[in-house]
Structure 1
Amino acid sequence: MRKIFILLLLMGMSNLLYAQNSLRITIRSAEKNEPLAGVTTLIKGLNRSAYSDHEGILILKNVPSGKQILEFKLLGFKSKIDTVVVSENKTTEHKVVLNPEQEEIEEVVVSTTRRSRSISDLPTRVEAISGEELAEKANMKPGSIQMLLAESTGIQVQQTSATSANATIRIQGMDGRYTQLLKDGFPVYSGFASGLSIMQIPPLDLSQVEVIKGSASTLYGGGAIAGLVNMISRRPEAEPEYSFMFNGTSAKGFDASGFYASQYGKTGVTTYAAVNLQKAYDPSNTGFSAIPQFSRFTINPRLYQRLSSNQKLMVGIDASTENRLGGYMNYISGDRNESSYYERNLSKRIGSQLCYDNSLKGNTHLQIKNAFSWFDRSIDYRDHQFYGNQLLSFSELTLAGTTKGMDWVTGLNLSTEKFNQQKIQSGSKLNMHQISTGGFVQNTIKFKDWFSLEGGLRTDVVNWRSIYHEQRTEVFVLPRVSAFFRMAQYLTSRLGGGLGYKTPTIFTEDAEKIGFRNLNPIDPSKVKSEHSYGLNCDFNYRGIIADKITVSLNQLFYYTYLNNPLVLSDSSGIGSFSYANANGHIDSRGFETNLKLGYNELKLFLGYSFTDAKDHFNAIQVIKKLTPKHRINTVLMYEKEGSFRMGLEAYYFSEQLLNNGNKGQPYWVCGFMAEKKFSHFGLFINFENFTDIRQTKFSTVYSGTPDAPVFADVYAPLDGFVVNGGAKLSF
């Protein structure tokens, strides 16, 4: 008993001695010398652990004096073991520096917010499609960005013609006209050009595609109510590049393209050229083309010139021409029966871009941009023709800089849009003219390492008119704010919102469906612009588990409210269509979940989107037509860098409400692709929709007679199982 008492007494005395010993540890990153929060610290032999706070500090009390072995762990950083000598009866200071894992999480830089910044700490939420993901989608559909956008979470490609495959893109359940398309920050794909734009923009001369979902009108003006898509061109590198791609499909298609880039001292050039050929294809034997016959030619040369050490100039041209013919297969194949149904789209596009950059003193940057785009299109039916051309222009002057930790940019812009209808068979001409003058300011402030705020304000003065009516002038004041929060080293959040607007236009999905037939001009005295506001919040986690598995999880919540929506209706009841502002509003709410996992050569992408979009007209609530409420995206990819890759993908679409009141069938679309790379040569093959899902298996695509068909809404694939494959050459 006495021995036990003495032992307890000694233990108590030792604890009293420990109580005076403290260990204060400061932990920072080796790369940026930033404090690291959430670092797990383990005292080996004592089975004690603790975590560093947001300042990278942790304090351990009651630590025995003498040598202690400590282990430090944090996702994304190499584990580290240190030996610390703890002094007796005092606080021992110790500093730890952790190095990033060798397999770092890829850093992406974006420019759509007008300042080139890392996507990881940008207050505005931007999604980027680049690198191997961009190349993979280009293998599947080399002629257009349709596949690239269609397989992204929260984005839907809506086909507007059953026989010509014309289509627009929808973001978060909103119609295509509420999404703004840009090329290198130039908004030149609006209006009449929008009906064919995503079918004619090739992905092979792009280095990155950046997407902002939600109201973004403050950035580039009206039209970005649902969001915007900015396509970034490839630029010349130090080493010359020659690349060629040849692709053929089981659906009778052929693509050939070439890209050249080189830097000669202060001068750089890039040139992209392509030919895309397609024969009419009818896998369901309906008698009508599921894929139209077309031939398209494209050339996009660009010149990059460094004028001095602080001045540079870019001049580019985009040109394309296309002949697209869909309809009754017998007519397309050469039986020119006058009563046969057909739909022919002849289009020509030529545009120019100029960008001058000047780096001034004091971290100030001056940029002048100018673009023109001429688009000519005729739509011919057996008994109707719509023909016109559109001239777009965009000019912008911006001044940007960094002052006392603030990134700021301010500028002025002028944009014009003029549409002239060339031929008219009956009714009134649909000519429209719009001039928009705007000024904007944007500022990004990093208050703390864990908190940044981005605010913007734009004022636009818009004058628009149709040919037979007086001009209307409207003023729009558009604030926008976004906040960034870093709650831990790899856990961040964003919260943002802003206002938007869209001026009236005749070029909508509904007008495309009727071929602009019997359409009345818009009267500015009776129709006003659409106004919106949008909110979004997301949480993002990026890290590395068990030193091997990379993880990226993003959870987005959004809400968009659109007032005075412009709707097309036959109010006369005799087939004469007019636009009017609806009595009510449209709202879209939902969420998107994206998970990416990587383990050595394996990558898994999982995406889910929930979209609840509704029309609220005349106190009646109706689900938005042709909008799946649930979508699932899954992609499993194996890639041995520089050698081989293959992927399996599956996409789910829930039932959709159709314009006739019925509901479309839910369906899965599955695909498989593989690519083998050699030093300067590569082979690829893609099995798209290998389960052969076609809308014709669910219901008929048209009613009536082949000479006078009435087509149903297109909500599922019409082309079915298609195999494509080809070769790549690069030097």
Structure 2
Amino acid sequence: MRRYGIVFFLFMAVGICAQLQAQTVITFKFHNGASGEPVPGVTVAVNNASVVTADSSGTAQLNVPRGERAFSFSVVGYEQAMQTVRVVNDTLISVPLKTGIRALEEVVVATTRNNQSIENAPIKVEVLGKEEMNEENGIRPANIASILGDVSGVQIQQTSATSGNSNVRIQGLDGRYTQILRDGVPLYDGFSGGFGILTIPPLDLQQIELVKGSASTLYGGGAIGGLVNMISKRPTAAQEGTLTLNQTTLKETDANAYLSKRYKAFGYTLFGGYIHQDPVDVNRDGFSDVPKLNSYNIHPRLFFYPKNTTIILGYNGNVNNTKGGDMQVLKEYSDAVHQYFEQNNTTRHTGELVVEHHFNSGKSLYFKNTVSDYTNQFADARFNYKGNQLSYYSELSTLIPYGNKNSFVGGVNITGDQFKATHQNQFIPIASLNNNTVGAFAQNTWTIKDKATLELGLRDDYHQKYGNFFLPRLAFFNRLNEHWATRLGIGWGYKVPNPFTPWYVDYTPDKIAALPAGITPEKSIGYNAEVNYKLEWEGGNSLFINQAFFLTQINDPIYGTINPDGTLLYQNGSKKVLSRGLDTYIKASLDEWELYAGYTYTVVTRNYLPQQPFMPLTPRNRMSFVLARDFEAAGVMAGLEGSYNGSQKRLDGSATPDYMFMAAVVQKHIGDHVTVVVNCENLLNYKQSNVEALYTGSVTDPQFKPLWAPIDGRVVNLSLRFKL
């Protein structure tokens, strides 16, 4: 594997040194054409590829080669503008923008790798942008679990009453079929997947991009159900600084800070965060419903801009210590009866190197290299277990636009992990494990008469143990007229066996088993079809409706059975898993009101279990909505959100009741630098413990039930955000 890394670095060096020309700095100042006020957040694109976003003062700065360049500018609430500039020397250009309705297709996403517009991309990508990240920072600053759960078709399922861990389920499939990316890099798989989304604060993110359904061609075989790509912030020309302090009624205290600045040839971003949570027994059964938690997060990144190149050096460090269980044990009053606890101490250290080079012809070359070291020490009343996983990812790719809005994306990558148990136990039969995959991918996008787009993607992966996987994908988008559009897609995926992503709910070390010799990878094929309708009229009002249909088939599914002696056995099912349904969502803006409403109908069957073919803990019917209004004159924003979760099947086949979840928020700006947020989650105070006890057995040896509803009850938080 070492020689592949050398080849990558040589290829990168040759690509960066080639075709370099003298460059100049061009600065754009955007302002409202009528009032003259600065316009922040403007996306600047060069040759149809997005390059930089204007900062809070309406300033965007970039390095470009000398010569004639075509620029386009887009931002919410303004008409798109275009300007051709002959660049000779460092230049400052003032750009007036005309107020108007911005079409959805002007939102550009990174997950497609070719900077496609969100609405016209053949593969549907849903974006939670910078505005949503800023709002979530005041509502739930600790992590992004809550905001992901607001998206239709996405279910955030808490998997442990004692550790508080959660996973992301898309279109009814288990969380192991969702690929979690950070800046396009897979970091949260296998043993290192624990506590993934619980360690990512929204203040550190520019946006989140979601793909529902198969997305394995560009990012590897794990994206069977979908993927979540978290995009980190980048520095802008204006100094940015934010400090957020938060306190909840459930004894959680948060402090997060972010600083960034871009200079002519250098820039930086710095995020630091701390979370402290005291254990709380909400339902007074003697066990914690919210664990004790101390979490530390630091994420510095350095940016260098030599000529037409961006070089990023970054480090991300996280320490996450949780302990839950018997409240007497947590208060250090254990005795012969009160002994139960579960403790997870995790550390994650990640280093990154990213090089992006843009050639004069519009072509781009990208290199990414990431190494991540993850350690989890688990302990309970019976035993200790400590494991370490070293994960690595290297990629070299290129983007080549050509013709009339056509593009080619291609690349090669190496990904792998090495796991070692440093504290073995008789319950844990795994001492070491490793995976290595070499992959190549290519994607070509054709624009047909400016109304239709056809996209063909191919990936070929070779896994050291399980051999070759060929993954084609075909997607088609057609804009019928200014109101109607359709999408069609089909894609293949795979998932290699991994003992740390079991079939049911969550893993603890006593529920891990070695993989049998004959087990084979899971393989999938996913289909999607959808129709879109949009309407825009005067006054900034708009309506967008998306109706999607999906079908995913997983062959050779891996599942586990518990033997009479309590050990776990993995095996391949002889019949497939089938997930199908429909997903509807509506976005509307009307007289300063913003509405998002979604409904998902999902049927998932495990055909390898003819007696219990249902998928546990998967509601067939789920609805959600967000209603908000910004009262600009008063500096106040108010919002109400809710979700309906239909009946689910427990592991034994019994049905849970359906329930409603509601939340409300009020945000007040005080001057230009202070924002106060009051938020209430679970207004109706619905808890699973209202229906049933959360555990069976004795206090000494409790057996906790799978979670299908909230267990922490109503929570109010107050946050203060300071703009530095």
State the TM-score bracket (shorter-chain normalisation).
0.7 to 0.9
Q: 1:585 is matched with which residue: 542, 564, 576?
A: 576
Q: Deviations over 1:467-502 (max 9, x none)?
A: xxxxx3310000001101001113211111100000
**Is 1:314 equivalent to 2:305 in the alignment?**
no
Q: Following the alignment from structure 2 to structure 1, what is the Cα–Cα distance between the partners of residues 78 and 231?
A: 32
Q: Following the alignment from structure 2 to structure 1, what is the Cα–Cα distance between the partners of residues 284 and 604?
A: 35
Cα distance, 1:430 vs. partner? 4.5
8 Å CA contact retained: 1:176, 1:509: no
SS of residue paired to 1:706: coil
8 Å CA contact retained: 1:583, 1:618: no
SS of residue paired to 1:533: strand
8 Å CA contact retained: 2:539, 2:591: no
- Equivalent residue for 2:720? 727
- Equivalent residue for 1:414? 414
Q: 2:532 is matched with which residue: 540, 551, 554?
A: 540
Q: Which moved more, 1:202-211 or 1:359-368?
A: 359-368
8 Å CA contact retained: 2:108, 2:115: yes
Q: Which amino acid aligns with 1:541?
A: Y
Cα distance, 1:337 vs. partner? 3.0
- Equivalent residue for 1:38? none
8 Å CA contact retained: 1:168, 1:194: no
Q: 1:617 is matched with which residue: 593, 608, 613?
A: 608
Provide TM-score, normalisation by structure 2.
Answer: 0.84
- Equivalent residue for 1:447? 448
Q: Following the alignment from structure 1 to structure 2, what is the Cα–Cα distance between the partners of residues 219 and 657?
A: 34
8 Å CA contact retained: 2:224, 2:524: yes
8 Å CA contact retained: 1:545, 1:551: no
**Is 1:192 equivalent to 2:191 in the alignment?**
yes
Q: Following the alignment from structure 1 to structure 2, what is the Cα–Cα distance between the partners of residues 604 and 518?
A: 43
8 Å CA contact retained: 1:195, 1:512: no
- Equivalent residue for 2:646? 654
8 Å CA contact retained: 1:164, 1:324: yes
**Is 1:712 equivalent to 2:713 in the alignment?**
no
Q: Following the alignment from structure 1 to structure 2, what is the Cα–Cα distance between the partners of residues 345 and 121?
A: 44
Q: Deviations over 1:12-62 (max 9, x none)?
A: xxxxxxxxxxxxxxxxxxxxxxxxxxxxxxxxxxxxxxxxxxxxxxxxxxx
- 5 Å matches for 1:328-727? 328-337=326-335, 339-405=338-404, 406-427=406-427, 428-463=429-464, 472-510=465-503, 513=506, 515-517=508-510, 519-523=512-516, 525-545=517-537, 547-570=539-562, 572-617=563-608, 619=610, 622-641=613-632, 643-677=635-669, 678-727=671-720
Identical pairs, percent: 34
Q: Deviations over 1:540-581 (max 9, x none)?
A: 2222146553111111110000000110112x4211112111
**Is 1:216 equivalent to 2:210 in the alignment?**
no
Q: Following the alignment from structure 1 to structure 2, what is the Cα–Cα distance between the partners of residues 77 and 140?
A: 28
SS of residue paired to 1:153: coil
- Equivalent residue for 2:148? 149
Cα distance, 1:236 vs. partner? 0.7
8 Å CA contact retained: 2:501, 2:507: no
8 Å CA contact retained: 2:130, 2:205: no
Cα distance, 1:132 vs. partner? 2.6
Q: Which amino acid aligns with 2:568?
A: F
Cα distance, 1:618 vs. partner? 5.4
Q: 1:318 to 1:511 in 2, by over 3 A?
A: farther
SS of residue paired to 2:305: strand
Q: Following the alignment from structure 1 to structure 2, what is the Cα–Cα distance between the partners of residues 584 and 671?
A: 41
Q: 1:414 to 1:490 in 2, by over 3 A?
A: same
Q: Following the alignment from structure 2 to structure 1, what is the Cα–Cα distance between the partners of residues 705 and 434?
A: 33
Q: Deviations over 1:419-450 (max 9, x none)?
A: 11111120522521010000111010102121
Cα distance, 1:508 vs. partner? 1.8
Q: Following the alignment from structure 1 to structure 2, what is the Cα–Cα distance between the partners of residues 365 and 322?
A: 38
8 Å CA contact retained: 2:396, 2:412: yes
8 Å CA contact retained: 2:137, 2:202: yes
SS of residue paired to 2:356: strand
Q: Which amino acid aligns with 2:692?
A: S
Q: 1:240 to 1:665 in 2, by over 3 A?
A: same
SS of residue paired to 2:306: strand
- Equivalent residue for 2:32? none
Q: Which moved more, 1:398-407 or 1:479-488?
A: 398-407
Q: Following the alignment from structure 1 to structure 2, what is the Cα–Cα distance between the partners of residues 103 and 600?
A: 13
8 Å CA contact retained: 2:150, 2:625: no
Q: Following the alignment from structure 1 to structure 2, what is the Cα–Cα distance between the partners of residues 619 and 511?
A: 17
Q: Deviations over 1:644-679 (max 9, x none)?
A: 201011111001000122111110011110101131
**Is 1:254 equivalent to 2:246 in the alignment?**
no
Cα distance, 1:520 vs. partner? 2.7
Provide TM-score, normalisation by structure 1.
Answer: 0.83
Q: Radius of gyration: which is bigger?
A: 1
Q: 1:201 to 1:337 in 2, by over 3 A?
A: farther
Q: Following the alignment from structure 1 to structure 2, what is the Cα–Cα distance between the partners of residues 418 and 149?
A: 30
SS of residue paired to 2:294: strand
Q: Which amino acid aligns with 2:339?
A: S
Cα distance, 1:620 vs. partner? 5.1
Q: 1:641 to 1:554 in 2, by over 3 A?
A: farther
Q: 1:707 to 1:581 in 2, by over 3 A?
A: same
8 Å CA contact retained: 2:278, 2:291: yes
Gaps of 5+ in 1: 1-75, 79-98, 464-471
Q: Deviations over 1:321-362 (max 9, x none)?
A: 011001011111221336511000100001011111122343
- Equivalent residue for 2:46? none
- Equivalent residue for 2:113? 114
8 Å CA contact retained: 1:372, 1:394: yes
Q: Following the alignment from structure 1 to structure 2, what is the Cα–Cα distance between the partners of residues 518 and 312?
A: 45
Q: Which moved more, 1:176-185 or 1:599-608?
A: 599-608
Q: Following the alignment from structure 2 to structure 1, what is the Cα–Cα distance between the partners of residues 446 and 229?
A: 24
8 Å CA contact retained: 1:584, 1:619: no
8 Å CA contact retained: 1:138, 1:148: no
Q: Following the alignment from structure 1 to structure 2, what is the Cα–Cα distance between the partners of residues 192 and 429?
A: 12
Q: Which amino acid aligns with 1:707?
A: T
Cα distance, 1:142 vs. partner? 0.7
Q: Following the alignment from structure 1 to structure 2, what is the Cα–Cα distance between the partners of residues 583 and 385?
A: 36
Q: Which amino acid aligns with 1:239?
A: A
SS of residue paired to 1:282: coil
Q: Following the alignment from structure 1 to structure 2, what is the Cα–Cα distance between the partners of residues 442 and 695?
A: 46
Q: 1:350 to 1:512 in 2, by over 3 A?
A: farther
Q: Following the alignment from structure 1 to structure 2, what is the Cα–Cα distance between the partners of residues 297 and 355?
A: 24
Aligned residues: 626
8 Å CA contact retained: 1:101, 1:547: no
Q: Following the alignment from structure 1 to structure 2, what is the Cα–Cα distance between the partners of residues 104 and 429?
A: 55
Q: Following the alignment from structure 2 to structure 1, what is the Cα–Cα distance between the partners of residues 313 and 632?
A: 34
SS of residue paired to 2:616: coil
- Equivalent residue for 2:23? none
